[in-house]
Structure 1
Amino acid sequence: MTMTVTNGEVNPVTANGGFTIDKPFKIFVGYDPREDIAYEVCHHSILKRSSIPVEITPIVQSDLRTNGLYWRERGQLESTEFSFTRFLTPRLANYDGWAMFVDCDFLYLADIKELRDLIDDKYAIMCVQHDYTPKEATKMDGAVQTVYPRKNWSSMVLYNCGHPKNKVLTPEVVNTQTGAFLHRFQWLEDEEIGSIPFVWNFLEGHNKVVEGDTTTFPKAIHYTRGGPWFEAWKNCEFAELWLKEKDECVKEEKK
Structure 2
Amino acid sequence: MTSANGNASQVTNNGDVRKPFKIFIGYDPREDQAYEVCRHSILKRTSIPVEITPIVQSDLRAKGLYWRSRDQFESTEFSFTRFLTPYLANYDGWAMFVDCDFLYLADIKELTELINDKYAVMCVHHDYFPKEKTKMDGAVQTVYPRKNWSSMVLYNCGHPKNKGLTPEVVNNQTGAFLHRFQWLDDNEIGSVPCVWNFLEGHNEVVENDPKTFPKAIHYTRGGPWFEAWKTCEFADLWLKEMQEYMKKKSNVS
TM-score, with normalisation over the residues of structure 2?
0.97
Q: Does 1:176 find its partner at 2:172?
A: yes
Alignment-derived partner of residue 106 in structure 2: 110
Q: What percent identity do the matched residue pairs reach?
A: 78
Q: Does 1:151 align with 2:150?
A: no
How many residues are paired up? 251
CA distance in 2, matches of 1:195, 1:83: 21
1:239 aligned to which of 235, 239, 244: 235
Q: Which of the numbers 48, 54, 58 marks the counterpart of 2:50?
A: 54
In 2, the alpha carbon distance for the partners of 1:167 and 1:254 equals: 42
* C-alpha contact 2:105 2:214 (8 A) present in aligned 1: yes
Aligned pair 1:27/2:16, yes or no? no
Q: Which residue of 2 is the match for residue 5 of structure 1?
A: 4
Could you tell me which runs of 5 or more consecutive residues in structure 2 were left unpaired when the two chains were aligned. none
Say whether 1:230 aligns with 2:229: no
Structure-2 separation of matches of 1:209 and 1:77: 31
Which residue in the other structure is 1:163 paired with?
159
Instruction: Give, in whole Å, the separation in 2 of the partners of 1:14 and 1:39.
Output: 26
4+ aligned runs moved over 4 Å, structure 1 = none
Cα distance in 2 for residues equivalent to 1:101 and 1:55: 12
Partner of 1:205: 201
Out of 108, 126, 130, the position equivalent to 1:130 is: 126
Q: Normalised by the size of structure 1, how large is the TM-score?
A: 0.97
- The alignment's C-alpha RMSD in Å is 1.1
SS in 1 for 2:142: coil
Q: How far does the alpha carbon of each residue in 1:36-92 deviate from its partner, in whole angstroms, 9 at most, with x for none?
A: 000000000000000000000000000000011000100110000000000000000
Amino acid at match of 2:241: E
Shift of 1:226: 0.1
Query: What is the distance in 2 between the residues matched to 1:171 and 1:215?
Result: 38
Partner of 1:36: 32
Aligned residue for 2:126, secondary structure, equals coil
In structure 1, give the amino acid aligned to 2:164. V
Q: Is the 8 A contact 2:132 2:141 kept in 1?
A: yes
Residue 20 of structure 1: CA displacement?
3.6
1:185: which partner in 2?
181
Rounded Cα–Cα distance in structure 2 between residues aligned with 1:227 and 1:239: 7
Please state how far the C-alpha of 1:195 moved relative to its aligned partner: 0.1
- Runs (5+) with no aligned partner, structure 1: none
Q: Per-residue displacement from partner, 1:98-127 (whole Å, max 9, x unpaired)?
A: 000000000000000000110000000000
Equivalent residue runs for 1:68-83 within 5 Å: 68-83=64-79
Code of the residue aligned with 1:103 in structure 2: it is: D
How far is the alpha carbon of 1:18 from its aligned partner? Answer: 7.5
Give the Cα–Cα distance (whole angstroms) in 1 for the partners of residues 106 and 81 of structure 2. Answer: 26
SS at match of 1:164: coil
